Amino acid sequence: MYRWQILMIVLALSAITFPQSAVSQYPQQPPNNPPYQPVVPAPSTPNSYGGGGYWGGGGTVAGNAMNGMANVISAQGQRNLSNSAAAVNLTEARKNEIQNRQAAVNSYWSLRAQQRQAVAAERGPKPTMQEIAQIAKDGAPRPLAANQMDPVTGRLYWPSALQQDVFASQRQLVDQEFGMLAKYSALDYSGQMETRQAIKTMFSELKTQIDQIPQDDYMNCRNFLQRLMYAATGTSSLS
């Protein structure tokens, strides 16, 4: 009888310490290892202690009592082991989620950087200060040339495409205003507004003929109107 009791106490103590030692034996997953395998505790088999070497009773009253106590302690240890395995699996799942989010963020910024590099490569090198100054100079409005206006009388030498009858009324008004401009070196506000409107009207009509007149003639007329606008109002915008 006493030998059975001593044996059952030893086995009970082993069942209590088994979950703790089992949890400590889970190895940490080193980096660059194969995919993580979930921790699954091995199923425990209830111990049975009794007479005659049979499972589940059939022995003495004390032996059956100790057998039941051992099964209860073993079940508690199995529960602790399952809880520990679940905690390990949850921790690993959270770590994988964080790594996936970090990978997505890194991928996003990497694509942004590649896009910026591609756009910069298409644009080419940035212009120098000298090139910027030259571009500004080339784009600045220019005054009328000597073959476009007589600086003494203000007479205008219209391009052939702008000498059509459809532009007659606007040409007459602009000619009068440029005569005043040559005489007084400037136009009053009313003269500027009338000249501006007449030139805009001529440009709108010119655009409707873009398919009928040669491209060089169209660009020549457009530049002429821009210079007229600049000379009369100080701006070259035709819109």
Boundary-marking domain end, from 122, 152, 187: 122
| 156 found inside a domain | yes
Q: How many Å from the N-terminal Cα to the C-terminal Cα in the chain?
A: 114
pTM over 0.85: no
108 & 159 share domain: no
Percentage of residues in the chain having pLDDT higher than 70? 69
Range of 175's domain?
139-233
96 & 159 share domain: no
29-73 pLDDT tens trace: 555 556 666 666 666 555 544 444 444 445 687 767 777 777 777
Q: What is the pLDDT of residue 91?
A: 84
Distance CA 147, CA 176 (A): 18
| 14 found inside a domain | yes
Q: What is the pLDDT of residue 216?
A: 93
The tally of domains found in the chain comes to: 2
107-143 pLDDT tens trace: 899 888 888 888 877 777 776 777 666 655 555 667 8
| 196 found inside a domain | yes
Q: What is the pLDDT of residue 174?
A: 96
188-219 pLDDT tens trace: 999 999 999 999 999 999 999 999 999 999 99
Q: Are 104 and 48 in contact (CB under 8 A)?
A: no
Q: What is the pLDDT of residue 90?
A: 81
Q: What is the pLDDT of residue 22?
A: 43
pLDDT(160) > 80? yes
